[in-house]
Amino acid sequence: MSPGMTLYSGVLYSGLASYSEAPVLNGTDRVQPSQVTAGSFVLADNMYAVFGGSSGSNDRVVVWSSVPDTSQLPLSSTTLSLYDIKSSTCNPTCSSNGICSPSTKTCVCAPGFNGTSCEFCASGFFGLTCKQCLSGCDQCDDGIQGTGRCLKKTIIGDPESCGCVNGQCGNGDQCVCNAGWKDGSDGKKCSTCQDGFYLTSSGDCQGIFFIVTEACLLNDAGFL
């Protein structure tokens, strides 16, 4: 049976039969209900219908299955207003990794899965069962066909996170300079060599001399 419903003039699906599709929208984007008279009706699989009472009535009832006797519906009129016929399942259908939400008609995916049908792995998950990548990894080989191999490890104390040029970020995003470095006059953290150090061709600060006091010189000369 195609999407829609079959109406019967008598109860228990007897009498004359007619087929009804979903009502169309009018110019104001509101459903223009169609008036139907039926003793019973059959809904297609995975469909639901919205009925109302006589014209001007605010009664509404949602029917999720076929009805053998329309007089059993909680409406104040024997003439029914058909407001809508819709699918009660998701389109596209959900994979085995998700379930269809009746309220939103969208797939609710199991942890680790993503996509309109839950057919993909979410970011950071890999393999046919969408396992989570190992901790301590910023980027892994994820996806259904992924291996989970870490492509970029998490850097503890990443200097970029606190603006540290040559050092590491400590507690409270405080920059701890590497040996031989200090903050520069331009305000950049750990960007200048400390006194007694020079910048090598490899970009490191290396010490070249010790600061010698006058007392040390006198001791060495034997005067003290």
CATH number, domain of 60, equals 2.60.20
pLDDT at 52: 79
- Segment 72-118, tens digit of pLDDT: 888 766 677 887 777 767 777 778 788 777 677 788 888 999 998 88
Mean pLDDT of the chain: 77
Whether the CB-CB separation of 86 and 22 falls below 8 Å is answered with yes
pLDDT score of 125: 94
Dihedral sign computed on CA atoms, order 210, 214, 219, 220: positive
pTM score, whole prediction: 0.39
pLDDT bucket at 65, cuts 50 / 70 / 90: confident
Integer Cα distance of 37 and 16 in angstroms: 11
pLDDT confidence of residue 113: 93
- Domain assignment present for residue 218? The answer is no
Residue 124 is assigned to a structural domain of this protein: yes
- Compute the distance between CA of residue 94 and CA of residue 85 in angstroms, rounded to an integer: 21
* Residue 217 lies inside a defined structural domain of this protein: no
**Which of 175, 179, 201 minimizes the C-alpha distance to 188?**
175
pLDDT of residue 26: 44
Q: Which residues contact 186 (CB under 8 A, 6 or more apart)?
A: none
> Are residue 11 and residue 59 in the same domain, yes or no?
yes
The β-bridge partners of 45 are: none
Position 166 in a domain: yes
> Are 81 and 117 found together in one domain?
no
